[in-house]
Amino acid sequence: MQETIFDKIISKEIPAEIVYEDDQCLAFKDVNPQAPVHILIIPKKSIAKIADADVQDQNILGYLMLKAGEIADELGVKDAFRLVINNGEGAGQTVFHLHIHLLAGRALTWPPG
């Protein structure tokens, strides 16, 4: 898999406003926020998109979801936030390293997109 901007953020080659980090994941503020709170949560393991994940990735996928809730709580938005995962270019994915968008801080309408 080709190195992405997110790989460079993980390795600290490119700066980011990090809100959470541990040995499995990294969360940082989106540089082009779509809501007052817009955090990207990424695994440190390179997975291009959710459709590329396999059974060996189920633990990290669940871990990312739990961390999203913890991060939302730490940011004071645990009662109203949305998680979005885009899969593929046609769905709006622009960086091919799996990432979860945590959006909050404004009314989020339905349907999205």
| Active-site residue list | 99
Tokens encoding 30: 């989106």
Would you say 113 and 20 are in contact if contact means Cβ atoms under 8 Å apart? no
Retrieve residue 92's tokens.
């709006």
Q: Alpha helices of the chain — where are they, by DSSP H?
A: 5-10, 58-74
Distances (CA, A) of 20 to 2, 24, 51, 52, 58: 25, 11, 25, 25, 21
Question: Among 110, 9, 91, which residue's Cα sits nearest to residue 49?
Answer: 91
